[in-house]
Amino acid sequence: MTYIEGFALAVPTANKEKFREHSRQFADIVSDFGVKRQVEAWANDVPHGQATDFYRAVAAKDDETVVFSWFEYPSKEARDRANEQFRSDPRMQEVGGTMPFDGKRMIMGGFETIVESGEGPGGYINGFIVPVPSDKKDAYRAMNERHAAIFREYGALRVIQGWGDDVPEGQVTDFRRAVQAKPDETVVFAFLEWPSKQESDEAWDKTMNDERMQPSPDMPFDGKRMFWGGFDVIFDTAGAETPQTVTA
């Protein structure tokens, strides 16, 4: 199944076009290393949470926008080979020196796909970060396989649940701190791809009223520490940039 390298970062809102151009330059390099798809999604509807949220995850400032991003690889081995090349290719130093955001607050990790349903690309993304007890992996997978079928029924193009496989500690922020993960918990990086925000919103209204989606008393994770948001795709090597964001 697909191996995901997931990212979250804070970008000065005024640097949106610089960030998009930087992403294009970066894509030209990483495609040489085996990245099959690169997606950059700009916050559109990202709520503030009581315990955790995307803003706190990347220590976002008032004049910054959260970006939800990922690379896709055919396997973990392909991702590991790519990371070795990243470290030795001189082009990476050049592009890294012109980043239009604070890389120290970017968080990243490698995730094994445990649920993968449908195909992208989509123009709108629902992104989720979830702490799950490590011994609940099978229960979490089973629940989300059921939910994926329902989301697809209501129009989701693709559903991905990525189980934390290589999630490092960061200097300032990281995925584990973002969800206040306990030692016996694993971080999940998940997303839904939709054709548009309108179709996402309409589908969520339906799914939340679907009795098959009602939470059970034995949910295999702490929903209070899960956080999520809606994001416009502003760069996608699969070609899913939405018209309203391309001209923004």
CATH of the domain at 53: 3.30.70.100
Give domain status of residue 247, yes or no: no
Over 90: is that where the pLDDT of 239 sits? no
* pLDDT confidence of residue 140: 97
pLDDT in tens, 96-134: 888 999 999 999 999 999 999 999 899 999 999 999 999
Question: Which pTM value belongs to this model?
Answer: 0.94
Q: What is the distance between the terminal CA atoms of the chain, rounded to a whole angstrom?
A: 34
Give the pair of three-digit tokens for residue 95.
Answer: 């592009």
pLDDT at 246 over 60: no
CA distance 207 to 194: 14
Q: What is the spatial distance between Cα 156 and Cα 136, in angstroms, rounded to a whole number?
A: 25
Domain-embedded: residue 14: yes
Does 57 fall in a domain? yes
In a domain, 76, yes or no: yes
In angstroms, the CA 159 to CA 4 distance is 13
Contacts of 155 (CB under 8 A, 6+ apart): 194, 195, 199, 202, 203
Confidence bin at 241 (pLDDT 50/70/90): low
Residue 179 belongs to some domain of the structure: yes
How far is it, in rounded angstroms, from Cα 245 to Cα 40?
A: 11
Q: 18, 23, 21: which is closest to 7 by C-alpha?
A: 23
- The verdict on residue 242 lying in a domain is no
The domain in which residue 52 lies consists of: 3-237
Q: Tell how far CA 129 is from the center of its chain.
A: 8
Chain CA centroid to CA 11, Å: 15
pLDDT top residue among 248 and 72: 72
Domain count, the chain: 1
Q: Is residue 73 part of a domain?
A: yes
β partners of residue 118: 158
Span 217-238, pLDDT tens digits: 889 999 999 999 999 999 999 9
Do 239 and 179 meet the contact criterion of CB atoms below 8 Å apart?
no
Residue 169 domain-assigned (yes or no): yes
Contact partners, residue 23, CB within 8 Å, separation at least 6: 38, 40, 234, 235
